Structure 1
Amino acid sequence: MQLALILGFVAIVVAVAPDDNFTRYKHINFEDVVANKQLLKPYVDCFIGTGPCTVEGNEIKEKIAQTVQESCGRCSEKQKTLVSKMMNAMKAEFPEEWTKMDKIYNPDGKFDEPVKEFMGKYGH
């Protein structure tokens, strides 16, 4: 369940969709966000509703459920890799928040298996 939550966040943050204008997020260095807890935490707080959201954070938050349900199916290959990196970082650095996100975006655990498969393929 927790993987699904992170997948949603990352897919949204990183991948509005390959057919969307991903360039609007090019000012965000996702590698830096993943590597720095202080940069990652505001996104996490936004997604679970305990902190304010930036414009980008709100856009991403609105797409988390869809991304979880589709296992990042609309993401490009690069976006899938970035999503998996962000998922791993969120799970490792903020396990309590990860659990909260999972309850919000995948409450019945229905997407656990597809997310596991996604992480097995892209979580390298």
Structure 2
Amino acid sequence: MKVALLTLCFALGVLAQDTYENANDNFDISEVLNNERLLNSYAKCLLNKGPCTPEVKQVKEKLPEALETRCAKCTDKQKQMGKALAQEVKKNHPDIWQQLVAMYDPEGKYQQAWKDFLQE
């Protein structure tokens, strides 16, 4: 759940001072959610199974920190888009979701925090 959330949350920006850069906050999340090929491409990058675009590569770099801090440096827009993506992937692509969780939270130590975050 948390991985998918952060997938786009961080694909939208890079690390800045106190928050991640908001330059891509106008990113059209529906383009990813409605495009199976694009969603799978992003997932493959995050799972080290395919090439990465510069944006998704930034996500991979920031993902551990974001998981640990519950997206503390995310802008409100990034949190909103990340939640939408996470909920979509978890609901409609459970196989991808499970792979992402297994890779980025194998011990399950972020599960409850991210569950709470998604319900905020």
Same fold flag (TM > 0.5)? yes
% same residue: 25
The structure with higher relative contact order (CA 8 Å, sep 6+) is: 1
Gaps of 5+ in 1: none
Q: Which residue of 1 aligns with 2:87?
A: 88
Aligned residues: CA RMSD:
2.0
Q: Which residue of 2 aligns with 1:62?
A: 61
Q: TM-score, normalised by structure 2?
A: 0.84
Higher helix proportion: 1
- Conservation of the 8 A alpha-carbon contact between 1:5 and 1:102: yes
Q: Write the mapping of 1:1-124 to structure 2, written as runs, cut at 5 A.
A: 3-16=1-14, 19-23=19-23, 25=24, 28-121=27-120
- Conservation of the 8 A alpha-carbon contact between 1:16 and 1:75: no
1:60 alignment partner, SS class: helix
1:109 alignment partner, SS class: coil
**Cα distance per residue 1:28-61 (max 9 Å; x no partner):** 4223112322221111111011111111111111
Q: Which segment is superposed worse, 110-119 or 69-78?
A: 69-78
Gaps of 5+ in 2: none
Q: Which segment is superposed worse, 12-21 or 74-83?
A: 12-21
- Conservation of the 8 A alpha-carbon contact between 1:4 and 1:112: yes
Count of residue correspondences: 118
State the distance in 2 between where 1:63 and 1:111 align: 15
